[in-house]
Copies of this chain bind each other. A is one copy, B any other.
Amino acid sequence: MDRKGIIIVVSGFSGVGKGTLMKELVARYDRYALSISATTRDPRPGEVNGREYFFLTNDEFENLIRENGLIEHAGYVNHYYGTPRKFVEEQLDKGRDVILEIEIQGALQIKEQYPDAVLLFVMPPSASELKTRLEGRGTETEQVIAQRLNRAREESVGIENYDYIVINDDLDECVTRVDEIIRSAHNTPSRNLDYINEIRNELNEL
């Protein structure tokens, strides 16, 4: 069976722990690569260019857009965010599945260009648990928490656009489930047409 890489788009409510989940997934299994976004916002203390983000100037970013160098992009609070195409396609060619942590608008842009992409939505065990996690960070004001819960309400409308949901209750278990879901997605006929046609041809030649 041929092993071509798949694009895996991961979304989920703020506070659900999808960042930690994806880092753990990529650390545990060599077959995944985490896409790094480009942005025009300034680096925050501790952020490294090429690790958290590729930090670009406005001109550089707009050049990338013009050259079709981004597979999705969006503006957010006066800054651009986007996914560089080069890294994604290089990794796919190597047979790696590429994880993109983006929101639903980007997810739908990706699905249009790459119908084989798998969209995964990370869910909390319950809404009250989500609230507890947001409060537990201890870094957010009540107002920010309220905004995030509002955003979660809006995002929850789009869940049916995703191929799979996964519940992040126990991190370790959830990483295993995500890996199983992605590996299972490799087993659809549409992702194995070469192999299926090979068997057909071989059957005809027997």
Contacts and interface: CB of A to CB of B under 8 A. Distances in A.
A56 interface: no
Interface in A150-203: 152-153, 156-157, 159-160, 162-167, 177, 180-181, 183-185, 187-190, 192, 195-196, 199-200, 202-203
Nearest to A1: B167
B166 A187 contact: yes
Contact of A160 (B131, B160, B190): B190
Nearest to A184: B184
A194 to B, nearest CB: 12
A77 interface: no
Contacts of A126: 199, 202
A169 to B, nearest CB: 9
A163 B188 contact: yes
Nearest to A162: B189
Interface residues of A, number: 42
Given A123-B199, A196-B165, A189 B128 contact: no
A127 B181 contact: no
A166 to B, nearest CB: 6
24 contacts: A1-B167, A121-B189, A123-B195, A123-B196, A124-B199, A127-B199, A128-B206, A131-B206, A149-B206, A153-B204, A156-B196, A156-B200, A157-B200, A159-B189, A162-B189, A163-B188, A165-B189, A165-B192, A165-B196, A177-B187, A180-B180, A180-B184, A184-B184, A184-B185
Interface of A: 1, 121, 123-124, 126-128, 130-131, 149, 152-153, 156-157, 159-160, 162-167, 177, 180-181, 183-185, 187-190, 192, 195-196, 199-200, 202-206
